[in-house]
Amino acid sequence: MKAASAHPNRVSPRTSNGIWFGLLGTLCFSLTLPATRLAVSSFDPLIVGMGRTAIASCFAGIALFMMRQPLPTGGQLRRILLVALTVTIGFPNLSSWAMQRVDASHGAVVLGLLPLGTAIASYLRSDERPSIAFWCASFIGSATVIVFALSSGFGKLQSAHVALFGAVTLCSFGYAEGASLSREMEGWQVISWSLVISFPLIAIPLFLVVKDHGLVATWDSWAGLAYLSSISSFLGFFAWYRGLAEGGTARVSQCQLLQPFFTLSFVAFFFSEKVSITALISAAVVAGSIFVSRRSPMNEGQIL
């Protein structure tokens, strides 16, 4: 274990680099729920959930083959399987099922807990030990996101949110495990192997669902599925896992507190919707909590 810096509040260039990669990954993921909502407007949720993984696994297989990557070790394969079951299979299917029943804005209420869940998962499975200041900032940021979502007319929690809570729980542990693996191999390799391992697990169920429901859909639904397959399930993780590995899982995961606000910004830009003053104030509070958590000292097995 490396010794902590003599100045615990000083953020190293490596940590700052991780924060920037985390923000890039968050930007990529910020359109996941809207894209899922578009996709399930025509496709069966299981086709979306498994289809995005199947398509992304093709990209991943090509990338691994072109880069001549060796097979992971037995221990790494077991951990990659956990990432596959949680991030590339569990989360897509649960979130797709939920997005057919509630608006994407509703989903933001529950997914606002993902950064906190990731920090807790990292605490439970690794040697990261965030400070009290970090946990206070994380709780404040998470509470701000949820209060903002509810106050903005996102509605009361419905039964579909049970699926989203499950998605958050699975994804939190998948992020933490993937971040740990990304310290042993490149982040793009972690997500690529996870997708490749996922394919044989979903191939037959996906075939049966497609046989029953078909693939007739609008162009909007195809566009949503294309985004989910290429960005949400594949390319976004290149930046996200690298950020978690370099900046620390608990710390960088807080970047996702900004995800609902990034989503609102995209909606405002593409659909000319106004962003309220409440959204701006809430975003400022969240940005402040991220700044505090970013500067908070940690006892962990990496250089800060």
pLDDT band of 4, cuts 50, 70, 90: very low
pLDDT at residue 193 greater than cutoff 90: yes
Contact status, residue 237 vs residue 27, Cβ threshold 8 Å: no
Q: How far apart are the first and last CA of the chain?
A: 12
Backbone angles phi, psi at 246, to 5 degrees: -85, -35
- Residue type present at position 71: L
Span 259-277, pLDDT tens digits: 877 877 776 666 565 666 7
pLDDT at residue 8 greater than cutoff 50: no
How much is the mean pLDDT over the chain? 81
pLDDT at 105: 62
Span 198-215, pLDDT tens digits: 999 999 999 999 999 999
Question: Among 247, 204, 229, which residue's Cα sits nearest to residue 59?
Answer: 229
State the Cα–Cα distance between residues 58 and 72, nearest whole angstrom: 18
Report the DSSP beta bridge partners of residue 129. Answer: 299
- Residue type present at position 68: R
Q: Name the residue with tokens 């500067």.
A: 295
Token pair of 112, please?
């606002």
DSSP annotation of 255 reads G
